[in-house]
Amino acid sequence: MTTIKDSVHDHIEVEGVAADLLDTPPVQRLRRIKQLGTVALVYPSANHTRFEHSLGVFHLADRALDHLGIAGQRADRVRAAAVLHDVGHSPYSHNVEGVVARRTGKEHDDVDELVTEGRVAAVLDDHDIDPEEVAALIRGDGELAQLVAGELDVDRMDYLVRDAHHTGVPYGTIDHGRLVRELTFIDGDLVLDEGNVQTAESLLLARALMNPTVYSHHVARISKSMLRRGTEALLNTTEIDAEQLRRMDDHELSVALRTHDASREFGRRLAERDLYKRAVWAEMGDVSDALLDADHDEIREFEREVAEDAGVDSDAVILDVPGKPSMRESTTGVLVGGEVRRLDEQSTLVRALQVAQREQWRLGVYAPEPHLEAVGHAAERVLGLETDGALISDVNTPGRYASLTEFE
C-alpha cells in the first residue's frame, strides 16, 4: 500500500490496480496538465494538476464503493476508471478540447487507445481486469459508471472542493463526506438517500457560485479564447495535427505556440499575460437567436466581418459565444418519501439557480486594447446587438453591455 499526502483529502491510501496505474505514462502526463487551464492567469495559486484531481477522484470513489458494499473485480474496475478518467484530456484541460474534437471527432472521455493498449492495458491485464470494460466506464456506459461519469459523480465532488482550495475562493465548499455516504442505487440509478435534498442543493449551489467567480471569470474566458485561436492557427499552418496535439502537455503546447509564425503572437501574449480586453460584454437578451445558435464556422465569419468593419486585422477580433446555460446536475435523483424525484422538480432553490445562470450568461467580443472602441462599434453593427444605442456603459448595469478599458 502507498500513502500519498493530498492538499484536500489529507492522506490517500492507494493499493492494488490503482497504485500500479499511477506510474504509467498516460497517468504521469497528468502532472503536466493544469486542472483549470488558463484560470491560473486570474488566480495565481490555481496550479493544481489533473494528476492530483485523479487521486482525489480515486479516493472518493473508493469510499463510495465501500459505503455501497461493492467489492471484488467490480470495485477494482471502478477504481481503475477513477484513476484513468482524465487521461484523455488535451493540454490545458477543457480549454482546447473543442478545437481537437472538431478535427478528430474525439472528446476527452474517448480513451480506448490509451486504456486498451500499452502500459495501461498491461497493468489492467495483470490484475485480470478487462481494459475495454474500464474504457466503457470512463465513457459513462453501465450502472457503476455513474460513480465517475454521472450527475452525482465523485469527479465533480473532488474538483469543486479542490478548485476552491487552490484558487482561495470560499464558494466550492461542499460536504463531500456526506454526499459519498448518502449515495444509493435505486432501480439502477445512483441517487441520494432520504433526507438529502439540501445536500444535493449544496452541490449545485457550489457549482453555481464557482462558475462566474472561477470557471467563467472574464479573464479566464479571454485567455481561453486566445489559446483556442492560437491552437487553431498552429494546426492550420504546421505539420502538427490534432492527434499529436491531443497528447501534448501544457508546456509542449505553450512552446509550440511561441515557436511557429502563425501562432507566435498568441503564444507570446499568453506567456506574458498581455491579454485582449472586452470590447463587448452582452447579456443573453441582447443577442439574436441566430448568433446564439451559430456554429464554429459561422462565428469565425462574424469575426472576419467585425474586423473588416473595424478596419483591423482578423486576428484582432475574437467572438466568444458560450453555449446556452444548462445545469446537468439539476436532474439528480433524491429519495423523498420513498419516491425518487428529480432535484429540479423538488427544489425551489435549484429553479432559482437556473434563472440566475441565464442572467449570468455573457457574450464577449475581445480585442487588443488600442482597437477596443473600433471593434466595439463594429460588433454592434455587424452582430445586430439590441443595445438601445448604449455602447459604453458600466459593467454592472443590468440589461446592458459594456465596452471596457478600465476593467481587467
Q: By the 8 A CB rule, do 233 and 381 touch?
A: no
The Cα-based distances of 230 to 27, 218, 255 in angstroms read 26, 18, 12
- The answer to whether the pTM exceeds 0.85 is yes
What are the extents of the domains in the chain?
2-168, 276-324+361-408
Beta-sheet pairing, 362-367 with 318-320? antiparallel
Contacts of 20 (CB under 8 A, 6+ apart): 123, 126, 127
Enumerate the H helices of 273-315 as residue ranges.
289-292, 296-310
How many of the other CB atoms lie within 10 Å of CB of 285? 11
Angle, alpha carbons 3-27-139 (nearest 5°): 110
| Closest of 250, 219, 221, 256 to residue 34, by C-alpha | 250
CATH 3.20.20.140 fits 2-168, yes or no: no
pLDDT, averaged per 10 consecutive residues of the chain (408 residues), comes to 96 98 98 97 97 98 97 98 97 95 94 96 98 97 95 93 96 90 95 92 92 96 98 97 97 98 98 98 94 96 98 97 87 91 90 92 97 96 73 38 36
Q: By the 8 A CB rule, do 214 and 39 touch?
A: yes
**pLDDT attached to residue 394:** 36
C-alpha to C-alpha distance for 226 and 179, rounded to whole angstroms: 37
Angle, alpha carbons 370-375-379 (nearest 5°): 165
Cα 233 versus chain centre, distance: 22
C-alpha to C-alpha distance for 89 and 138, rounded to whole angstroms: 12
Q: By the 8 A CB rule, do 61 and 152 touch?
A: no
